[in-house]
Amino acid sequence: MKGLIWFRNDLRLADNPALVALSRRCTHALMVYVIDPAWLKPTRHQSRHLGRFREEFLYQSLRALERELKKRKQRLVVKVGNPLEIIPALCKQHQINYVAMTDHPGVYERQQVAYLERVLPCEVSVSESFTLFLRNQLPFEQSTFPQSFTQFRKHIEQQNTLPCIPISTPDSLPAAIQERRDIWGGQEFVYDLTPYHGGEDSALVQLNQFFWKSQGLKNYKKTRNGFDGWQFSSRLSAWLANGSISARMVVAELDNYEYRHGKDESSQSMFAELLWREYFQWMMHYHGARMFAFDGIKKKRPLTSFYCEKFKAWEQGTTEYPIVNACMRQLNQTGYMSNRGRQIVASCLVNELGVDWRFGAAYFEQQLIDFDVAANYGNWQYLAGVGADPRGQRHFNLEKQAKEYDPDGSFVARWAQASPSESLLKF
């Protein structure tokens, strides 16, 4: 049988049920990734879907995946174009009998799957591995999905719902079907992503570094609200976002850590953050396009609009708020901002500047190396008061935040004079 796997947000060989299913069913297969030029075009909220940092990280991840496939006598066929045209054309050309892919909660991602299931004349298999839990473990309707994270967590605990156990890499892969690859990833990048580097191997190195070598997890409860540095958080979010590592693999490592050292505040805080990620994934799964609506899942219109000058000042880090400016300049030069920083700048855009939250969410989508559609839009709705926060709109006291989390002013001072032409890479 001839097969095709369409890699999307599952750029790894380990814990990849779609790849395992393909390997069991097929003797020959195409391994495909499609780069859609639409990702690079500005949206109506003035930002691109894919910015330069994440674009480079993606290309690094694809090259890493290609190397791993090559070791197993396979190859990654990268195509450039509309995947809903390319995948059917490849299936027809090579007489494909079986198509495998991984499910994703994103609205457009699910629409793409539904379209291919309708038009392809062959069997289409959609596996679940982007989330900790399977769909049948969380039998909600849109109307019954928990309205707050606390309710979601209590449901998980009361039902004793356990994350899926990650599965191993297939022992062997089907033989490669020959197909021309398009030119991709050949442009010069002006940014150095160090210490980030895309790919499954790099993700596993960082997992080991944070959990074991640097003892970052041991100190996570104390350090997780930091702004700068590498070890104050796990930094796994970029690899989780494009699927170079799965959340299930991280939880399995966390279980291993707790088995050896016992549960503590830091390990529990780490699991809570992964559960927050999970909550937003299922929120998008159940609420769909409402995650992008101005009035959010609450259908509550915020008292904001779009003010070009205010938005540009926020975007470029030239507002009257030093802590906000430092965070935005860090983002613009590194593709990264801490979780605390993201909450602060989002609150500023919505509350101090009165700007439509969707413009901020779209800018994050463009700039963040670790952009995840559900987590990004879920968090922005939360801060704007149109999402999952039972308390309503979150309004941070910016001066108080700066004093509490940057008491000596070192973070603000470091980024105060930063300009886009500088290369401040040790973030």
267 is in an annotated binding site: no
- Dihedral, CA atoms, 388, 305, 399, 411, nearest 10 degrees? 90
Residue 267 CA to residue 402 CA, distance in Å, equals: 26
pLDDT digit string, tens, across residues 98-147:
999 999 999 999 999 999 999 999 999 999 999 999 999 998 988 899 99
Residue 322 CA to residue 317 CA, distance in Å, equals: 8
- pTM for the model: 0.94
370 is in an annotated binding site: yes
Q: How far is CA 351 from CA 40, 77, 138, 308, 310, in A?
A: 30, 46, 35, 16, 12
Residues 193-215, buried b or exposed e (16+ Cβ, 10 A)?
Answer: beebbbbbebbbebbebbbeeee
Residues 166-181, buried b or exposed e (16+ Cβ, 10 A)?
Answer: bbebbeebbebbeeee
Residue 78 CA to residue 58 CA, distance in Å, equals: 12
Residue 100 CA to residue 20 CA, distance in Å, equals: 10
pLDDT digit string, tens, across residues 177-234:
999 998 766 555 556 788 899 999 999 999 999 999 998 999 999 999 999 888 889 9
Residue 247 CA to residue 164 CA, distance in Å, equals: 10
Residue 268 CA to residue 84 CA, distance in Å, equals: 42
Residues 6+ apart with CB under 8 A from 2: 26, 27, 28, 29, 94, 95, 96, 97, 98, 177
237 is in an annotated binding site: yes
What phi and psi, each to the nearest 5 degrees, are found at residue 103? -65, 155
- Would you give per-residue pLDDT tens digits along the chain (427 residues)? 999 999 999 999 999 999 999 999 999 999 999 999 999 999 999 999 999 999 999 999 999 999 999 999 999 999 999 999 999 999 999 999 999 999 999 999 999 999 999 999 999 999 999 999 999 999 898 889 999 999 999 999 999 999 999 999 999 999 999 999 987 665 555 567 888 999 999 999 999 999 999 989 999 999 999 998 888 899 999 999 999 999 999 999 999 999 999 999 999 999 999 999 999 999 999 999 999 999 999 999 998 999 999 999 999 999 999 999 999 999 999 999 999 999 999 999 999 999 999 999 999 999 999 999 999 999 999 999 999 877 767 799 999 999 999 999 999 999 987 554 443 333 3
- Structural domains in the chain, CATH included, are 2-129 (3.40.50.620), 200-292 (1.25.40.80), 308-416 (1.10.579.10)
- Dihedral, CA atoms, 211, 215, 221, 227, nearest 10 degrees? -100
Helices (H), 292-423: 308-316, 322-334, 339-347, 357-367, 373-384, 398-405, 410-416
372 is in an annotated binding site: yes
236 is in an annotated binding site: yes
406 is in an annotated binding site: no
- Dihedral, CA atoms, 335, 337, 343, 347, nearest 10 degrees? -60
220 is in an annotated binding site: yes
